[in-house]
A and B are shown apart, each in its own frame.
Chain A
Amino acid sequence: MLSSPTVRTSLIFTAIALVGLVFADIAITAANPWKDLGRFFLGVVTPDFFSTQGLATALLRTVAFAFVGVALGSVCGFLLALVYRAYPVRIFCAFVRAIHELFWALIFLQFFGFHPLTGVLAIAIPYSGIFAKVYSEILEEADPEPGRLLPPGTGVISAFLYARIPDCWVQMRTYTAYRLECGLRSSAILGFVGLPTLGFYLESAFSQGHYSDAGAMLILFYVLIATLPLWVKPKLLPVYILGAPFFLGDGMPIVWGNVARFFTEDIVPSPLKNEEGWAGMGAWFGDLFINQALPGIWNTVILTQIALVATGIIALLAFPLISTHFGRPVRRTGGHVFLVIMRSTPEYILAYILLQLWGPSMLPAVVALALHNGGIIGHLIGRQSSSIILRPDAPTGVNRYTYELVPRVYRSFLAFLFYRWEIIMRETAILGILGIYTLGFYVDSAIQNIQFDKAMVLILITASLNIGVDILGRFIRKKLALQTMPTC
């Protein structure tokens, strides 16, 4: 078994994570973590839907930001997909999607302030990069034959509309709908930095220990996502998209001078601004790199590697919950509900909740990342395992799991895991805003100190790290010949 490259890769990654555990800060520091957790669950089962005024508005804003952001992102992403073959476009897209929505929001907050545009762009920009990549992959896989058959002299646009788009349409629509769900999650967490979406109220309720209010918000959020197919119908989509801009709230007016100031002054490294020249620049950057970037990178990488392996373990443990090869329909329904909750809760919110309950350390972050991502992968391979047809006399129970199913789904399991590697790292970095010492912590500190020049450099470093992991992940998937469909 050790000779199999997939097994070897898995073992190497597990070993890295174990070494990481030695250096990681894993602890429960709260004095009464279980009491608080109990109070939280009590809050969830006794939700109070009417205490926070504005809960309905917050939900409406969450949906509106998601719709406008995703719509704008998909239009831009589509246009970029058409020229995706150009190398600069690829780099540009990789770059904008390597920066997390929350970082984008923090950047735009500095010059647009609390204007709806901040939230819309924070979603639309990284999503454009993702849409561009996935759309171009879908377009590339379209059957080339109809295009070849067109009469010579057919216009480029006509050829594209007739011979390319129709075949890709269903796949693009499915993916876009899927992204809308991600958009709802992104939109919700934007509230944590002050935009008027669900996260805003969730944070307030939580920090004050109003668990019943928080429970109500979470339940409404799950219902919103679970019922997505019921209220998002193709026919209603134009209505939603055209209507959504009116429900973003008015926020504060934009002062365009601020935009110019941000780009010409705020993000110019302070030694250059103070005319200390390149020598000053070297000292400034060296100090930033050694005292903030390096510790940030170190913690981000360690946390990512531990979370990656934990995600894998959760996914492997969770997929039988919904697999038709185990359990009765009733139990499977329970499993579905559990996995829906896991994957509908954004890592950021999950980590925030656990941090409140367990106190600060890497543990809440690892658990949050593993539960969310493990829920997604568990759902995907669980569904895949259900389509496997076993011989009538196949073993049952644990033997069925270890001999029949895991070997069959292991390759796609690894494919999904390595696909999500970069996503996990992006999230790990952002969790720093919550107080874990990953790159996001230092970005947030720089912003809190009104040192946007430092914040920008740290964001760029974070983006490069993500791009690096993305490339490495793709290399490993290619090396192991693993194929996967994109997940968010």
Chain B
Amino acid sequence: MSGFDLTGLTASFGGERVIGPLSLSVREGDRVALVGRSGAGKSTLINLIHQQVQGHSSLVPQNLGLVNALQVFHNVYMGRLDANATWYNTLTLVRPFARDSREVKALLEELAMPEKVWIPAASLSGGQRQRVAIARALYRKADLLLADEPVSALDGPTAHLVMKLLKQRFRTSVIALHDVELALAYCTRIVGIQDGQVALDEPSDKLTPADIMPLY
């Protein structure tokens, strides 16, 4: 159920077309890397997909969308606000239940930042904030992952750790990445975007970095 078809997709910004017309079909089990120059329309495409699946996805947007005043725990917990009753969510805001905090803590452990669970998002570094947004997506447990440059602020080893985790947890994903190495290593399919059009769409095992470079 996590695949989708997009046809005749267009998007304009300020009267200028930034996307399309474009068609993209993603099947269950596809791990798509969107590559291309910045401004090519990757972020717009991710947002369009998010709308297309009516929000039924784990989204990591480029600007992360964290609530700065809330603690890391609550930012992660927000991924599943729909799963619980209002009174439960409200109580959680005042005092989280042990079950939830255990689960969130475990997630943060995997992302190598367990000690930050009760710290407000505002006082985190860029890399930590990015991992909180990823933790929220993981906690959400949707079938489809949509991520826009999810590891741009992370150092090499951490980036690999996160990408591995994302691969493990989501069977289907669309990830915008500017790092070609990571794209080839963790994705099954490379979609190159150029001027709002699909310029390349190949399984990653058929490609080398050199094939992708012309897109940049």
Contact = CB atoms under 8 A, between A and B. Distances in A.
Q: Is A–B contact present in the complex under a CB 8 A cutoff?
A: yes
Given A150-B82, A166-B69, 14 more contacts: A143-B65, A145-B61, A146-B78, A149-B61, A151-B56, A151-B80, A151-B83, A152-B55, A152-B82, A158-B90, A161-B93, A162-B93, A166-B74, A167-B68
Interface string B74-102: 10001111111110011001000000000
A155 B90 CA distance: 11
Interface string A162-183: 1100110110000000000000
Residue among B61, B63, B86 with max Cβ neighbours from chain A (10 Å): B86
A161 B89 contact: yes
A381 B70 CA distance: 32
5 contacts: A145-B61, A146-B78, A157-B89, A158-B81, A161-B93
A169 to B, nearest CB: 6
B31 interface: no
Contacts of A152: 54-56, 82
Given A162-B67, A162-B93, A153 B82 contact: yes
Given A149-B61, A151-B140, A158-B81, A167 B69 contact: yes
A85 interface: no
A162 B65 contact: no
Interface in B136-175: 136, 140, 142
Contacts of B19: none
A468 B76 CA distance: 48
A187 to B, nearest CB: 31
A161 B90 contact: yes
Given A151-B55, A152-B55, A159 B69 contact: no
A148 B65 contact: yes
A142 to B, nearest CB: 9
B59 interface: yes
A154 interface: yes
Give the contact-size bracket for chain B: 20 to 34
Contacts of A167: 67-69
Given A161-B89, A162-B67, A149 B59 contact: yes
Give the contact-size bracket for chain A: 20 to 34
A163 B69 contact: no
B81 A154 contact: yes
A158 B55 contact: no
B66 interface: yes
Contacts of A155: 81-82, 85-86, 89
A373 to B, nearest CB: 33
A169 B89 CA distance: 18
A480 B80 CA distance: 46
Given A149-B59, A152-B54, A162 B81 contact: yes
A154 B69 contact: no
Given A151-B82, A152-B56, A166 B90 contact: no
Nearest to B80: A151
A145 B63 CA distance: 8
A166 B92 CA distance: 14
Contacts of A149: 59, 61, 65, 78, 136
B74 A162 contact: yes
Contact of B69 (A151, A157, A170): A170
Given A149-B61, A151-B55, A161-B93, A166 B86 contact: no
Contacts of A154: 81-82
B24 to A, nearest CB: 22
Given A150-B82, A152-B54, A157 B65 contact: no
B61 to A, nearest CB: 7
A159 B90 CA distance: 10
A141 B130 CA distance: 23
Interface in A109-143: 143
A150 B81 contact: yes
A468 B66 CA distance: 41
B82 A163 contact: no
B81 A145 contact: no
Contact of A151 (B63, B81, B90, B93): B81
Nearest to A149: B65
B32 to A, nearest CB: 20
A163 B89 contact: no
A146 B81 contact: no
B78 A162 contact: yes
B61 A157 contact: no
B80 A162 contact: no
A155 B92 CA distance: 14
Contacts of A170: 69
A145 B75 CA distance: 13
Nearest to B89: A158
Interface string B84-127: 11100110010000000000000000000000000000000000
Nearest to B56: A152
Contacts of A169: 69
A146 B82 contact: no
Residue among A143, A150, A170 with max Cβ neighbours from chain B (10 Å): A150
Nearest to B81: A154
Nearest to B53: A152
A387 to B, nearest CB: 22
Nearest to B88: A158
A2 to B, nearest CB: 36
Contacts of B81: 150-151, 154-155, 158-159, 162
A163 B140 contact: no
A176 to B, nearest CB: 16
A146 B67 contact: yes
Interface string A378-392: 000000000000000
Interface in A357-380: none
A327 B55 CA distance: 59
A151 B79 contact: yes
Nearest to A163: B67
A159 B89 CA distance: 9
Interface string A303-328: 00000000000000000000000000
A150 B79 CA distance: 6
